[in-house]
């Protein structure tokens, strides 16, 4: 269980890192770290005699979230030739403060919610919730379209983490299709990003102000 707790703590640190990082490339690297950590989760939950499924799922997560996404992001960043700074709407210190508050809130919530006994090991719920919270913060509090994609990924990772203890036998195909779907979503967003940078000569979503009532 100690290994598990270390992984959860590492995930929480990565989440706070998302909010403090000032370079887009470091942000893309953090998604790789988060993906690799996340790929360990299915293995740690594997029921005895069910290692095949867990390994399969873990490899899927590693391939998609640990390697695929970060590679796509890195490729997009190098092709876009954008300003490498994150450019926040909400400053780094305030974002970090929001992240820490989210963490404290989820730690408190963990003590209050009526969890089904034996379902969530300690620290998993706060780690997942902080991830969702950080992701959504990145979506709304950062200026560039690419940070919205990374935020969406972080939120999706948190949701995935919350779902791992529930992964039952036989449903592994569905989990993989969920993963694949998210992968395609990022792919489509990546294509949209290219068009945005080509058309607007920037990926600053603050320029999206034509359509309104």
Partner 1 sequence: MLAFLPIVPLAGGLAALAIPADAPRRLLLVATALAHAALTAATFAAAPGPAYGGLLELDAPGQLFLALASALFLAASVYAVGYLHHEGGGTKKDFQDGAAFVNAPERIFTMCLCLFLAAITVVCSTRNLSVLWVGIEATTLSSAPMIYFHRHRRSLEATWKYLVICSVGIALALLGNILCSVAFYDPASPLASMNLSEMLPRAGGAAQPWLRAAFIFLLVGYGSKMGLAPMHNWLPDAHSQSPSLVSALLSGALLNCAFLGILRALQLLNAAGMGAFGGELLVLFGLLSMAVAAVFIVGQGDYKRLLAYSSVEHMGILALGVGIGGTATFGAMLHAVNHSLTKGALFLVSGNILALYHTRSCHDARGLSRALPVTAALWTAGFLAIVGSPPFGIFVSELTILQAMLGGGHTLAAVIYLASLAVIFVGMSAPVARMVQGPLPPAIRHPGPERALSLIPPLVLLAATLTFGLYLPRGLTEFLRRAAAAVTLGG
Query: Which helix or strand (DSSP H or E) is residue 76 part of?
Result: helix 69-80
Query: Beta-carbon neighbour count of residue 183 at 10 Å?
Result: 17
Place of tokens 């873990």: 58
C-alpha of 83 from chain center? 23
The answer to whether 170 contacts partner 1 (rule: CB under 8 A) is yes
- Residue 59 or 185: which CB sits closer to partner 1? 185
Nearer to partner 1, 44 or 139 (CB): 139
Contact pick of 1, 48, 111, 210 for partner 1 (by CB under 8 A): 210
168 touches 45 (CB < 8 A): no
**Considering only residues 29, 159, 202, 204, which one is a binding residue for partner 1 as defined by CB under 8 A?**
159
Binding of partner 1 by 59 (CB under 8 A): no
Rounded (10°) angle between helices 69-80 and 24-45: 170
User: Which residues of this chain interact with partner 1, rule CB under 8 A?
Assistant: 113-114, 116, 118-119, 132, 136, 139, 145, 148, 152, 155-156, 159, 162-163, 166, 168, 170-171, 174, 177-178, 181-182, 184-185, 188-189, 192, 195-196, 199-200, 205, 208, 210-211, 213
């Amino acid at each position: 269980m100690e290994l598990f707790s270390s992984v959860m703590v590492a995930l929480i640190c990565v989440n706070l890192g998302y909010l403090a990082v000032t370079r887009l490339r470091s942000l893309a690297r953090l998604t790789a770290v988060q993906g690799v950590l996340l790929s360990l989760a299915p293995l740690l939950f594997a029921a005895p005699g069910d290692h095949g499924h867990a390994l399969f799922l873990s490899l899927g997560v590693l391939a998609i979230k640990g390697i695929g996404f970060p590679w796509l992001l890195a490729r997009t960043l190098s092709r876009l030739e954008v300003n490498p700074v994150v450019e926040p709407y909400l400053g780094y210190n305030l974002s970090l403060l929001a992240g820490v508050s989210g963490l404290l809130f989820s730690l408190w919530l963990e003590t209050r919610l009526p969890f089904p006994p034996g379902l969530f090991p300690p620290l998993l719920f706060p780690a997942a919730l902080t991830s969702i919270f950080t992701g959504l913060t990145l979506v709304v509090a950062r200026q560039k379209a690419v940070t919205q994609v990374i935020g969406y990924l972080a939120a999706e990772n948190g949701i995935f983490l919350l779902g791992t203890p529930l992964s039952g036998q036989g449903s592994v195909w569905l989990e993989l299709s969920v993963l694949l779907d998210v992968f395609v979503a990022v792919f489509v967003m990546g294509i949209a990003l290219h068009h945005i940078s080509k058309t607007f000569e920037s990926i600053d979503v603050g320029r999206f102000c034509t359509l309104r009532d």
